[in-house]
């Protein structure tokens, strides 16, 4: 598959757009692929619905918007249920099980549950890094970007809180590995 469409959904203030920018930078600048990032754009602010998208490809990206996401990352219940039916056959959804109740989902979609918010709060002692924990899980589960590229992009994105965010990324990678192992056991 040369074009991978990624949608991230959640609430304004959770770092949804920032996460998409980090994925895009990791893919295009550090992994040398092609990437385009776009975001929902309106007068909304903190607490309202927020959507960001990234397309990663081996060849230049033409149409810049997501049509049928291959990967969805959801950090709010509303976002997950709003977008779950857009997912295509073979798509994967990565959700924060503290924030999202998956319920029934259409066949052909693999759901991975990680506890990003709890890990940010309990392990990293800072709920602000929930999105970066999620980026770690995303990297481990999808393998669409390399961990090294993500680490570089995260370090660039948070120069003042570099160490904290890199630790959050590592914790997220572990959660992602666990979710992968869990799903291979249940198969």
Partner 1 sequence: MEKPILTGEMFTQGDIAAAEGALAAGCRFFAGYPITPATEIAERMAYRLPRIGGRYIQMEDEIASCTAVVGASYSGLKAMTATSGPGVSLMNETIGLAAMTEAPMVLVNVMRGGPSTGQPTEASQSDIMQAKWGSHGDYEIIALIPSSVQEMFDLTIRAFNLSEQYRVPTFVLADEIIGHMRERLIIPPEDELEIINRKKPTVPPEEYLPFKPETDLVPPMATFGEGYHFYATGLTHDQKGYPVMTDEAQLALVPRLCDKIRKNADKITQAESTETEDAEILLVAYGGEARTAMRAVKDARAEGMKIGLFRPISVWPFPKDQLKDAAANAQQVIVAELNYGQLVGEVERIIRNEVPVHFIPRVCGTPHTPDELMKEIRRRIK
Q: Which residues bind partner 1 (CB under 8 A)?
A: 21, 24-25, 28-29, 34-39, 41-43, 61-65, 67
Query: What gap in Å lies between CA 29 and CA 38, rounded to an integer?
Result: 16
For residues 34 and 170, which CB has a smaller minimum distance to partner 1 in the complex? 34
Tell me the closest approach of the beta carbon of residue 27 to partner 1, in angstroms.
9
C-beta of 3 vs 121, nearer to partner 1 = 3
In terms of CB distance, is 25 or 96 closer to partner 1? 25
- Please state the φ and ψ torsions of residue 95, each to the nearest 5 degrees: -125, 150
Q: Which is nearer to partner 1, 82 or 121 (CB)?
A: 82
Is 75:130 a contact under the CB 8 Å cutoff?
yes
Residue 33 CB, nearest approach to partner 1 (Å): 9
Distance of closest approach, residue 48 Cβ to partner 1, in angstroms:
13
On the 0-12 / 13-18 / 19+ scale of CB atoms within 10 A, 173 is: buried
First to last CA, the chain: 23
Shortest CB 119 distance to partner 1, Å: 27
C-alpha dihedral (124, 113, 93, 2), degrees to nearest 10: 70
CA-only gyration radius of the chain, Å: 15
């Amino acid at each position: 598959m040369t074009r991978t469409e990624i949608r991230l959904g959640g609430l304004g203030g959770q770092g949804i757009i920032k996460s998409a920018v980090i994925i895009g930078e990791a893919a295009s600048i550090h992994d040398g692929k092609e990437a385009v990032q776009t975001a929902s754009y309106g007068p909304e602010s903190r607490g309202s619905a927020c959507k960001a998208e990234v397309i990663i490809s081996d060849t230049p990206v033409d149409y810049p918007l997501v049509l049928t996401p291959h990967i969805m990352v959801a950090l709010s219940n509303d976002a997950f249920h709003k977008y779950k039916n857009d997912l295509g056959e073979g798509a994967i959804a990565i959700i924060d099980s503290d924030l999202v109740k998956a319920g029934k989902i259409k066949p052909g979609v693999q759901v991975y549950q990680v506890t990003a918010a709890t890990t940010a709060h309990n392990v990293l002692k800072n709920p602000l890094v929930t999105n970066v924990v999620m980026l770690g899980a995303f990297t481990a589960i999808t393998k669409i970007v390399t961990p090294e590229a993500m680490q570089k992009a995260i370090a660039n994105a948070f120069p003042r809180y570099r160490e904290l965010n890199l630790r959050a990324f590592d914790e997220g990678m572990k959660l992602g590995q666990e979710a992968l192992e869990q799903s291979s056991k249940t198969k």
